[in-house]
Structure 1
């Protein structure tokens, strides 16, 4: 199946506890400092928006964000390595933004590592703009890494 056919058959559904083993496996492969199973469980228990992108029973990615007052805060997004830079992340981010709009959110915020060029590129392409920097926000191999704070007006 081609990538365009795969994206055509992609569905967005609620994340559930049965998904966590697969999601944590993806998370460990694609993030420098991955969330634990407990982090995902906490997000589900806190009623954050936790969605899975799936095609033909295979999880391609996931997104977690919280809604507060009038803004959505993107907390985590992960795409299976072999589907990165092929439109799946964009599809999932667009879906998250649509959910936020439907919940009457005015903007979406996120933090991203400056060293994560692929994610920065995706966010900029979508229309996110840099609004700040959080010093020493992320754990890193050599100490701490800053976070670029980005905003998208919904």
Structure 2
């Protein structure tokens, strides 16, 4: 079953990423973010070496087709998460893979009682809609955040799960 519940497609596998995956990730970044300084393989290797980061990917048919990177920052009693990147191979978009990645990231943050921050291009309506569906709220605007395009970004926040629960009661 695929991430969006359709039968007939190979089962997806979510796994931690490593240096071995860096060339594939750099290739996907080039496809997805070519106008905004996409990360190269060395950028990913540097991220993997940080003790506070975690990168997860989705494999379908033994090919890495989606990924997300998150950092866990701050003191243990007030931990915050920051999504560094998230992407889906253009050939696999629209199949619920970004949602599956967000489910994983949100579950990890919830286990740690952490809020999640991210930046997203203001013109990326599908991503903004996905993030809002996960409880993210726009809290700021960063002008000329993405380079070299100069595109603006929204800063978004998803409060920690205990804060979300308080707001619902």
TM-score by length of 1: 0.88
1:12 aligns with 2:14: yes
Q: Return 5+ residue gaps in structure 2 as ranges.
A: 162-169
Q: Please give the per-residue CA displacement for 1:5-31, whole angstroms capped at 9, x wherever unaligned.
A: 477821211101111111111111011
**Runs in 1 of length 4+ with deviation above 6 angstroms?**
none
Count how many residue pairs are aligned between Structure 1 and Structure 2.
151
Q: Return 5+ residue gaps in structure 1 as ranges.
A: none
Q: Please give the per-residue CA displacement for 1:84-124, whole angstroms capped at 9, x wherever unaligned.
A: 2221100111111112222x132110000112222112112
Counterpart position of 2:71: 66
1:54 aligns with 2:62: no
Counterpart position of 2:154: 148
TM-score by length of 2: 0.81
- Kept in 1, the 8 Å contact 2:143–2:151? The answer is yes
- RMSD of aligned residue pairs (Cα, Å): 2.0
- Indicate the structure (1 or 2) with the bigger Cα radius of gyration: 2
Structure 1 or 2: more strand by fraction = 1
